[in-house]
Structure 1
Amino acid sequence: MVNLSRFSSSLSDSNSDPRIHCRYDRLIKLQAQVEGFSLLPQLKAGSVLSGRHGSVFRGRGLNFEELRHYQLGDDIRNLDWKVTMRTGKPHVRSYTEEKDRHVIICVDQRSSMFFSSVEVMKSVVAAEIAALIGWRVLKDSDRIGMAVCGCEGINWVRSRRSQADWLQRLQVLTQANQALNVASHDQVAVSFANLLAMLARLKLKNTTLVILSDWAGATEQDISHLKHLQRHNDVLGILIADPLEKSLPCHSASDSHWVVGDGQFQLNITNSQQLARVNQGLETQLLLKKEQLLKLMAMKSLPVIELDTSGQHIELFKRAIAGGR
């Protein structure tokens, strides 16, 4: 990982610097910024059997709404044969399906998220966007759950429609975020595969899953498992990336000398040719992540949202959600 010397002056009092660690009071204040976007328009109606929340899932509603003439594309299982035979024209019965929606936010707070070369740590971006989404979900009177992937393990709480419970979840998220430092090291139990295995055990249906991560360590097999989750749920992937993860800058010959490490291993880059190969590898890796997410999101016509560490993540997220309607 690249040296974080530009932040070293603040590490001794990191709780006072919102660039490095998120603040609990800041996460609470984000409640005031939930206007101007909504997750609801992302879920498009798949049939006339839809309720207050448009859904990609087809199903029979419980509340009869109306009889109307058959239209091309209507499910023939909804034909009212008595009315059809009496009138001589096909009629269908339409229903409304009013039900709560469950949203689960998976927030990556692993060691790879404790990084930024610009303004704000990736871990802070993930925490603040998670809080913003949660407040929006509660405003829409839906249930919100959270899985926080920290260095030591995964903290999971089922979906509830409770502001008091959400405040407790934000406390857990804040603690996981503030536990991160340059010496943080992930346990094996917090891999992407373990997170997906936990979600699979929950046997979720009609749930919206939001994953905020840099997707470090996510394999092609992990993406395949997410595709299985997409069959009965919506998965919204949010990629949080730093410009330095795409390429190391080089403005002069002296800039081509880099020492990078991940806390265990170091790599010395001593010339422009080595730097070019490293940059090519970094760009390829980032493009691969984006390509995998694009394929995953295309299954349900959901947008792929990419956020950076510039400090404009709230505005970027709102703009991306609005553009995906």
Structure 2
Amino acid sequence: MQALQQDVDGLVYVSLGQLMALEYKARALSFVARQPQGSILSGSHASRLRGRGLDFDELRRYQPGDDLRHLDWRASLRTGKPVVRTFTEERDRPALIVVDQRMSMFFGSRRSFKSAIAAELGALAAWMVFNASDRVGGLVFNDQRIDSIAPVRSRKRVEMLCSKITLQNQQLNSTMPDCEDADQLDKVLQRCLAVAAHDHLICLISDFAGAGTRTLQLLRQLAVHNDVIAMQVYDPLALNLPNNGRLLVTQGELQVELAVQHQHIRQPLGDFFSGRFKDIASLLRRSQVPLMMFSTALDAQSQLRSELGKLAGPGR
């Protein structure tokens, strides 16, 4: 189902240049940096994201200010002086940026299409990983195909991922059938399990259309040994249908004009949209992975900054 909207570059379709240019906007963002109070990644959520692992570095004499949890009691007893273990942070942590470009994403009633917002979020996430000196890889999928990019620490790998996103994004069109296939989403998560055995950062960017019990199981499996973040992209129409006017929607070659000012049309349609949206959001929350939500009515970068806590204001 697709809402007709003016075909503006970057709002309906993205370009490779547009995604590559997001490198600058991603510099102030980080998945692993300490987040301000109010961030989804702070407080109780902090334990859900492991960040990079720690490698043992050396034993040395205790110095005022050292973390007492790092005291090595055996070495301290042996030497008669307090000794602490020091660690260095692991580098080159692999990350998988998973971007949904199915027909269910080719929809937008406000500003952008879900597919375009997802493409921008995927590029921003890739640049964040690259800027953190980690390895960038990912999966880009539509209703028929899954493109895999193995994680490598290089600018060329970011460009390769952005190219795959752009290619699938630009192949979307209103004449394609809307094949909401739950199996395709689950196949992508199964592919993630095969690639990411442990210690990966996995960023899932989708509307999660078709998610079900198997999806929930796969998300939980992924989160056992990896850090998983779900970014749900939604359209405001799912929350609030207009009270008057006509809504023109298409599905493949079929076009339907709905007079939403009539209660008998608006009510069941609104119940359908909001019900499906709430069901998916509830399922994602039950998976116990951090959930971020992104509207098509606002630009991707400012929403990501807000979700990461960079723009958190008083009272949030």
Question: How far apart, CA to CA, are the structure 2 residues paired with 1:172 and 1:190?
Answer: 21
SS of residue paired to 2:107: coil
Partner of 1:318: 305
Partner of 1:294: 285
Partner of 2:268: 277
Summarize deviations over 1:121-143 as a string: whole Å, max 9, x none: 11111111111221222122110
Contact residue 34 and residue 136 of structure 1 kept, 8 A = yes
Select the residue among 95, 98, 108 that pairs with 1:103: 95
Question: How far apart, CA to CA, are the structure 2 residues paired with 1:250 and 1:187?
Answer: 28
Instruction: Please identify the structure whose Cα radius of gyration is greater.
Output: 1
Tell me, yes or no, if structure 1 residue 161 matches structure 2 residue 153: yes
SS of residue paired to 2:22: helix
Question: How far apart, CA to CA, are the structure 2 residues paired with 1:25 and 1:64?
Answer: 45
**Can you give the 5+ residue segments of structure 1 that lack an aligned partner in the other structure?**
11-15, 46-53
SS of residue paired to 1:40: coil
Partner of 1:230: 223
Deviation, 1:258, is 5.8
Distance 1:55 1:65, change over 3 A: farther
Deviation, 1:167, is 1.3
Select the residue among 171, 177, 192 that pairs with 2:169: 177
**What amino acid sits opposite 1:294 in the alignment?**
R
Partner of 1:248: 241
Identity fraction in percent: 24
Question: How far apart, CA to CA, are the structure 1 residues paired with 2:227 and 2:294?
Answer: 20
Deviation, 1:294, is 2.8
Question: How far apart, CA to CA, are the structure 1 residues paired with 2:51 and 2:299?
Answer: 34
Structure having greater relative contact order (Cα 8 Å, sep ≥ 6): 2
Q: TM-score, normalised by structure 2?
A: 0.80
**What amino acid sits opposite 1:61 in the alignment?**
D
Tell me, yes or no, if structure 1 residue 56 matches structure 2 residue 50: yes
Question: How far apart, CA to CA, are the structure 1 residues paired with 2:242 and 2:176?
Answer: 26
Higher mean C-alpha deviation, range 200-209 or range 155-164: 200-209
Question: How far apart, CA to CA, are the structure 1 residues paired with 2:53 and 2:126?
Answer: 27
Tell me, yes or no, if structure 1 residue 119 matches structure 2 residue 111: yes
Question: How far apart, CA to CA, are the structure 1 residues paired with 2:120 and 2:77?
Answer: 55
Tell me, yes or no, if structure 1 residue 196 matches structure 2 residue 185: no
Contact residue 61 and residue 97 of structure 1 kept, 8 A = yes
**What amino acid sits opposite 2:120 in the alignment?**
E
Contact residue 153 and residue 189 of structure 1 kept, 8 A = no
SS of residue paired to 2:12: coil
Task: Report 1:129-144 matches (<5 A).
Answer: 129-144=121-136
Summarize deviations over 1:32-90 as a string: whole Å, max 9, x none: 21232111127999xxxxxxxx9628977331254559x99948xx8442532554x98
Question: How far apart, CA to CA, are the structure 1 residues paired with 2:162 and 2:212?
Answer: 29
Question: How far apart, CA to CA, are the structure 2 residues paired with 1:172 and 1:147?
Answer: 9
Question: How far apart, CA to CA, are the structure 1 residues paired with 2:234 and 2:114?
Answer: 7
Question: How far apart, CA to CA, are the structure 2 residues paired with 1:128 and 1:157?
Answer: 17
Contact residue 151 and residue 184 of structure 1 kept, 8 A = no
| Number of residue equivalences | 297
SS of residue paired to 2:174: coil
**What amino acid sits opposite 1:275 in the alignment?**
R
